[in-house]
């Protein structure tokens, strides 16, 4: 009861307070941060030749910047009045550019709105066809190389910068776009109860083959079960899912 009262007070003091940090996991969060930094730094060094090749190919394929930088919603741990909690923040998320320069985001916004509300008819209308894949696959904004990078998930590699900087983790719910968060139902906000990740439970179990509510439930399940062992298991499963290209578009 005391925690509920404290959190209620925090919400009045800070409307961006999302949820209390589970104190018995403080050691886990500290260990996870160390592992994130070490593994992301190592991965960046090992994958530097791959990223260099991708950089060249992007410049040859279309005009525009190499990286696509977009605001995403994350969280940071704060302590107020002796209570530790996650606060919502917005950070700059990095990806390799897979679209034409200055692409209009309205198409994606419309699809996300239909996806969150589970409006299958509207999703099919936007796609131009009915599809079990819950992702905008018929996107005219995507470049030729961009389709390959997206299907192989190589466009996500620059997010190693975000992990090293502490804005993301290797494992966690995928970082949401601010306009997506504005469409959330109240219970959807529970998926923001930990740092976003490059991969997660949703990505290695359902990826783009499930509705939004089920995806959020998988993110919440991960948050409730978080442990070094679960993170390790998801990391081990991720390369297979990426190489199999199941649900990737």
Nearest to 70 by CA among 178, 203, 144: 178
Residue 26 is predicted with a pLDDT of 79
Q: Determine the Cα–Cα distance for residues 249 and 147; give it in Å rounded to an integer.
A: 7
Q: Determine the Cα–Cα distance for residues 194 and 185; give it in Å rounded to an integer.
A: 18
Residue 140 is predicted with a pLDDT of 78
Tokens 């948050």: give the residue: 223
Residue 249 is predicted with a pLDDT of 52
pLDDT < 70 positions in the chain: 1-24, 128-137, 207-209, 245-249
pLDDT in tens, 66-123: 999 999 999 988 877 777 778 889 999 999 999 888 777 888 888 888 888 887 778 7
Q: Determine the Cα–Cα distance for residues 203 and 8; give it in Å rounded to an integer.
A: 33
pTM of the model: 0.85
Domain boundaries defined on the chain: 2-244
């Amino acid at each position: 009861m005391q925690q509920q009262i404290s959190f209620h007070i925090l919400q009045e003091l800070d409307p961006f307070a999302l949820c209390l940090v589970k104190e018995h996991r403080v050691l886990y969060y500290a260990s996870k941060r160390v592992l994130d930094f070490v593994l992301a730094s190592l991965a960046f060094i090992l994958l530097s030749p791959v990223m260099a090749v991708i950089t060249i190919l992007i410049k040859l394929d279309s005009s525009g910047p190499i990286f696509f930088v977009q605001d995403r919603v994350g969280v940071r741990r704060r302590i107020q009045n002796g209570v530790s909690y996650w606060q919502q923040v917005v950070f700059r998320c990095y990806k390799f550019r897979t679209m034409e320069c200055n692409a209009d985001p309205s198409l994606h916004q419309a699809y996300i709105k239909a996806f969150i509300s589970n409006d299958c008819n509207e999703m099919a209308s936007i796609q131009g066809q009915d599809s079990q894949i819950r992702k905008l696959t018929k996107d005219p904004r995507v470049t030729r190389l961009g389709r390959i990078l997206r299907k192989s998930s190589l466009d996500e590699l620059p997010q190693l910068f975000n992990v090293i900087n502490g804005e993301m983790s290797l494992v966690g719910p995928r970082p949401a776009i601010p306009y997506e968060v504005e469409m959330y139902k109240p219970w959807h906000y529970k998926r923001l109860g930990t740092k976003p990740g490059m991969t997660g439970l949703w990505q290695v179990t359902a990826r783009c083959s499930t509705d939004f509510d089920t995806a959020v439930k998988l993110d919440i399940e991960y948050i409730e079960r978080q442990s070094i062992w679960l993170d390790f298991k998801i990391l081990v499963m991720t390369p297979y899912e990426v190489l199999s290209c199941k649900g990737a578009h």
